[in-house]
Amino acid sequence: MTATKFSVALDGAVHTRTSQSRAYTHVLVGRRNQAAERAYAYGYQGDKTLRSNYRYDCFIAAQQAGVPARYEGSSTGYTFTYTQDAIDRVKAHVGDCPTYADYVAKERAKLIARHEKSAACPDAYKLVALGWSSRADLAWKQASQHKSLIDIAVLPCAAEVIVPKKTDAKSVNATARGVLTRRIKRIQEARSWNAERGNTDAVASNDQYIAKAQAELAALLAQKEG
């Protein structure tokens, strides 16, 4: 089936999309906001979720393995029993954070390290294709899903029809011969295994399959010679 390859060049790289049934005319593009990501990482002060996580980690770290305990922050009223392995893992995570401020600092350090690793990647902040559309206005509608990105724009894309290559009869014949040769070898190995164990019915079945495959292979060889 004929397909169409759509493409757009962005920051030295060509982004493509191929479809057999859809036609695209425009693509929404954008890039990550390096300045905003850096400011977030270096200025991170924690949030409600992080504070809740810290309280829960401290609770687990203070428990005894196998002893049921109810977390005061739980609304279910259930008690939980923790294994020593679970307690040790939490202690390793929160043990060097006697205060919530220490916990925040540890999380901030992780965010900074992640940001710097990303910033060191030459392609991290290049323009990328965010969505392909059949009209420019439809492409713009997707922009609301990428509010954290910058340099949002809608660009026209190029289209190239991909015509399937005609299959050469000789190459098909060669491929089929290879498949049959490997099949015969596998069945012969199975026949030997069955013969060693006295599985006469299985050997007879193997012989039938081998004969059929050899006949098909002979026919293909005849076509090749013809």
How confident is the model at residue 104, as a pLDDT? Answer: 96
Contact 50, 104 (CB under 8 A): yes
**Burial environment of residue 30 by CB neighbours within 10 A (0 to 12, 13 to 18, 19 or more):** buried
Q: What is the mean pLDDT of residues 48-67?
A: 92
Q: How confident is the model at residue 154 (pLDDT cuts 50, 70, 90)?
A: very high
For the chain, the residue count is 226
CB atoms within 10 A of CB 15: 18
Dist CA 205 CA 218 (whole Å): 20
Give me the percent of the chain exceeding a pLDDT of 90: 57
Q: Identify the H or E element spanning 160.
A: strand 158-162
What are the tens digits of pLDDT across the range 135-148?
Answer: 899 999 999 999 99
Q: Tokens 């509608």 belong to which residue?
A: 141
pLDDT score of 200 more than 60:
yes
Contact 177, 213 (CB under 8 A): no
Mean pLDDT, all residues of the chain: 88
Dist CA 56 CA 47 (whole Å): 14
Q: Tokens 């660009």 belong to which residue?
A: 155
- Give which of 15, 20, 17, 14 is closest to 2, Cα–Cα: 20
CA distances from 10 to 16, 35, 124 (A): 11, 20, 13
pLDDT score of 2 more than 90:
no
CB atoms within 10 A of CB 138: 16
Q: How confident is the model at residue 71 (pLDDT cuts 50, 70, 90)?
A: confident
Dist CA 11 CA 126 (whole Å): 6
CB atoms within 10 A of CB 215: 11
* 184: CB partners within 8 A, 6+ apart: 210, 213, 214, 217
Dist CA 132 CA 26 (whole Å): 6
